[in-house]
Amino acid sequence: MKIPKRIQPLVDDGLVDDVIRQLMSGKEATVYVVRCGSEIRCAKVYKEANKRSFKKASQYQEGRKVRNSRRARAMEKGSKYGRHEQEQSWQTAEVDALHRLDDAGVRVPKPYCCVDGVLLMELVTDDEGDVAPRLGDVDMPTEIALEDHAMMMTYIVRMLCAGLVHGDLSEFNVLVDETGPVIIDLPQAVDAAGNNHAEMMLARDVNKIRDYYSLYAPELKNTQYAKEIWALYENGELHPESKLSGKFAENEQVADVDRVLDEIKAAWQEEQDRILRMSDEGTELKF
């Protein structure tokens, strides 16, 4: 096929030899199957910000660290340079996340390089060498659903231990090859410690995956993995090999409102008494 304009620089630099076909076009990128020497890989071409349909991108970028202070200030001000740097940050976030997650033992496509908004990475294939199907296109027996769901929960735990939440995880961005699920599409990956929406996004990720696998294993439907995982994380007890039960006991202890109000009143009265004593002694009040 005709070489897309955005991939041409990679061809000129010898990184890509041929573009075989378009694989898919999504809300933030178009993906092509390409040939690099003797290997078949994929090239993910990120869409420009004004052409992306990814909603609330700023919500996902909250808490991401920018080492260069000039870049950070420009991004905050929204200047032309800042918008360019914001776009670069969005594109390189996936490369960083792929490397971190691969190191953490999460199955993701291997990244090779990212040049001018084009990410060159491993093409995930099935046992016949064809492009691996998405999870949403796969039927499975109950035992495989339970096994793969458990593996996905392990991956989510390892992601969180590596400081990341996928943020948009569902059956549409998980591929399935001969050995199980592979997580894809990570430009919106969330900084777990620095993003105020991280807990909500983790719960959404976990519950979407649970709901899909429960179509084949109904016993998963009422599990509470999201709450269990986040509680362990908040308490500093989560580690990459944490054993999960899918159960979570809510704290049903009712707050003693009257006791709290009495303590507030007592503290207020104590402060009033202190002020009165200081006034009687002619001491200058300092606040």
**Active site residues per annotation:** 168, 185
Q: Cα separation of 16 and 44, whole Å?
A: 12
Return the DSSP state at 134.
Answer: B
Exposed / middle / buried, residue 60 (Cβ in 10 Å: 0-12, 13-18, 19+) = buried
Length of the chain: 287
Q: Which helix (H) or strand (E) holds 150?
A: helix 142-161
Cα separation, 142 vs 62, in Å, equals 39
Instruction: Report the alpha-carbon distance of residue 240 to residue 255 in Å, rounded.
Output: 34
- Strand 118-122 and strand 29-36: the pairing is unpaired
